[in-house]
Amino acid sequence: MRVVITRQADKDLRRIDATMRSRIVGKIKQFAADPASLAANVKALEDTDRFRLRVADDRVIYRVDPETDILTIMVVLAVRHRSNAYD
């Protein structure tokens, strides 16, 4: 799976401390390489085409681009603390 990080998600990542940021990026890479490995931490968000990947108290909000047949693209939309991840 190819990962594309939006401008907003990049800004969100920069606001997080370096230790947590590297942990989140590691989980994104792990999920992209083997989605089944983190399946318990992924949940579809109601009434949207988005999903969330839980990493400790942070949430990676993403969507999978359905228009690519061969290559699946995971578009990371936001990385935020769980208290305001769904705003």
Domain parsing of the chain, residue ranges = 2-81
Look-up: residue for tokens 């995971």? 74
Which among 55, 51, 46 is positioned nearest to 82, based on CA atoms?
55
How far, in Å, CA of 52 to CA of 61, rounded?
A: 5
How far, in Å, CA of 47 to CA of 64, rounded?
A: 15
Query: Could you say which of 1.10.10.10, 3.30.2310.20, 1.10.3720.10, 3.40.50.10490 is the CATH number of the domain covering 2-81?
Result: 3.30.2310.20
Instruction: Tell me the pLDDT tens digit for each residue of 34-84.
Output: 888 998 999 999 998 889 999 999 999 998 887 775 556 788 888 888 888
Higher-scoring residue by pLDDT: 72, 29 = 29
pTM of the model: 0.84
pLDDT band (50, 70, 90) for residue 27: very high
